[in-house]
Amino acid sequence: MNDTGARADADFEHAFDRAMNLQPVGPDRLRGHTEAAYWNMVGPYGGIVAAVVMRALMLRADRVGDPLQLTVNFAGPLKAGPFDVVVDARRTNRTTQHWSIEIEQPADDGNGAQVVAIATATTATRRTVWSQPEARPPEVPGPEGLERLGPRGNLRWPTMYDMRYVQGLPLQPGDGTSLSMFWIRDQPHRTIDYPALTALCDASFPRIFVVRGSFTPIATVSMNIYFHGSAQALADDGNGHLLTVSEAKVFDAGFFDQHSTVWSPGRRLLASTQQIVWYKE
């Protein structure tokens, strides 16, 4: 495998697909296992947790349409090991369907289960009606001429992405703003789907690392994603490097926000995503 190529071996399983391996263990209940390849500092990368929620939704035979909205609240740390995903179709309408999804693990004291992620999602049937983009991606150099981001200390998850920064590298002196723009793609390459798009919506480093250029402990509290395209649109124009533009609006009293857009190679908006993040000091 070369540094930018896809794996073509028939017996190759991408670590992302291992992370997405969910098996039914009861009605509306799936079991998965944390995947070391996407480890963050003290637990799984948040994007992979959100992707597990999305994967559980995509497995539902009774799903109406494609994902439209996902909100994941990170209620507590996910420990290495097995976890359960509980999926509840709360209400089904003609063009939209509303879901509640939770991830549970055995409680620390051994008594019962403890919720670690609480999510709501909407799937929806898209229709051929008047459509119009309004926001446009910034004009930036393509990924070909840019250097791939090297390892970030001992963090595992960044090595699972081919990230090429246009501006706004974390943990180094910058221009005093939190703005980053970078190209991103799964590494090794993998055909995009909603779980993979969900995961990379979390790949912007914490904005506080960019605006200050230095480290402080952080934890995402809640992450929201709007998906702006059908499965067909994602298949047609979602493969290749995607451009992410990310910035904060305010760092206030221990919490900051982070707003990102994710653009296709053909300059289509695939996702808009926000998160609110705890920071220590």
Note the residues at the interface with a second copy (CB under 8 A): 68-69, 71, 73, 75-76, 90-91, 93, 95-96, 98, 100, 102, 114-115, 118-120, 122, 124-135, 177-178, 211, 221-222, 224, 226, 228-230, 247-255, 257, 259, 261, 269, 272, 274, 276, 278-281
Instruction: Give yes or no for a contact between 216 and 43, defined as CB atoms under 8 angstroms apart.
Output: no
Residue carrying structure tokens 């507590």: 76
Our CB check for a second copy shows the closer of 71 and 244 to be: 71
CB of 6 to a second copy, least distance (A): 29
Burial of 79 (0-12, 13-18, 19+ CB in 10 A): middle
CB of 259 to a second copy, least distance (A): 7
Our CB check for a second copy shows the closer of 160 and 225 to be: 225
Our CB check for a second copy shows the closer of 97 and 187 to be: 97
Our CB check for a second copy shows the closer of 43 and 158 to be: 43
Compute the distance between CA of residue 234 and CA of residue 194 in angstroms, rounded to an integer.
8
CA 23 to chain centre: 21
Compute the distance between CA of residue 114 and CA of residue 232 in angstroms, rounded to an integer.
37
Q: Is 214 helix (H, G, I), strand (E, B) or coil?
A: coil
Compute the distance between CA of residue 43 and CA of residue 105 in angstroms, rounded to an integer.
13
CB of 192 to a second copy, least distance (A): 17
Can you give the length of the chain in residues? Answer: 281
CB of 197 to a second copy, least distance (A): 15
Our CB check for a second copy shows the closer of 2 and 131 to be: 131
CB of 106 to a second copy, least distance (A): 14
* Count of CB atoms situated within 10 Å of the CB of 204: 29
